[in-house]
């Protein structure tokens, strides 16, 4: 019974936090109508890591960013190739062979929602990550992996 009470208390607190933030309520009113305040409260606090910035990964990133999570981070150190231009709408000819798919994609994706922190997964020294470790994954609520 105590566990149930704690969960209910937490839900009430989360709901009231969102309801007390008039700016968030106004900005996400349609989403709140569709998802409810509990889901939106979780979403605006969510940290998402997307591994793979191909066509599917970037499309998912776009849709998530438009929903309004706290942070979306991309991880894909593969250099942009000419065939990537047909699948990933954020890439340009200037990116081919020069930038990773994650770095090239972040520029356009970050413009979709100013309240969402969009970035590239980097290690402690600021170098773009090309392999995942448990320590790097600790700070994320959601991990999405796409190889297309």
Residue 16 pLDDT > 70: no
pTM as predicted: 0.79
At residue 88, the pLDDT reads 95
pLDDT at 147: 86
- Taking only the tens place, the pLDDT of each residue in 39-91 is 777 888 899 999 999 999 999 999 999 988 999 999 999 999 999 999 999 99
Do residues 104 and 90 lie in contact, with contact meaning Cβ atoms separated by under 8 Å? Answer: yes
**Per-residue pLDDT band at 2 (split at 50, 70, 90):** very low
pLDDT at 30: 73
pLDDT at 19: 62
92 contact partners, CB below 8 Å, separation of at least 6 = 85, 104
pLDDT above 70 covers a percentage of the chain that reads 84
Buried b (16+ CB within 10 A) or exposed e, 121-144: beeeeeebbeeeeeebeeebeeeb
* pLDDT above 80 for 148: no
CA distances from residue 75 to 12, 14, 60, 110, 146 in whole angstroms, order as listed: 35, 30, 13, 15, 10
Query: At 9, is the pLDDT very low, low, confident or very high (cuts 50, 70, 90)?
Result: very low
Non-local (6+) Cβ contacts of 64 within 8 A are: 48, 50, 72
- Residue 101 near residue 109, CB atoms below 8 Å: no
Q: What share of the chain is helix, strand, coil (3-state, %, to 5)?
A: 50, 15, 35
CA-CA distance, 74 to 72, in Å (whole number)? 7
- Distance from first CA to last CA of the chain, Å, rounded? 46
Task: Express each pLDDT in 84-121 by its tens digit.
Answer: 999 999 999 999 999 999 999 999 999 999 989 999 99
């Amino acid at each position: 019974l105590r566990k149930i009470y704690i969960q209910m208390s937490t839900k009430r607190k989360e709901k009231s936090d969102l309801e007390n933030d008039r700016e968030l309520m106004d900005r996400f009113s349609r989403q709140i109508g569709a998802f409810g305040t509990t889901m939106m409260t979780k979403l605006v606090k969510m940290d998402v890591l997307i591994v793979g910035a191909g066509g599917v990964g970037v499309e998912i990133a776009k849709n998530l960013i438009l929903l309004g999570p706290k942070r979306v981070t991309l991880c894909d150190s593969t250099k942009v190739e000419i065939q990537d231009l047909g699948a990933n709408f954020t890439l340009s000819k200037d990116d081919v062979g020069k930038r990773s798919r994650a770095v090239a994609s972040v520029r356009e994706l970050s413009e979709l929602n100013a309240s969402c922190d969009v970035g590239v997964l980097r290690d402690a020294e600021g170098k773009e990550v090309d392999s995942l470790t448990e320590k790097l994954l600790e700070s994320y609520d959601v991990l999405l992996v796409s190889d297309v």
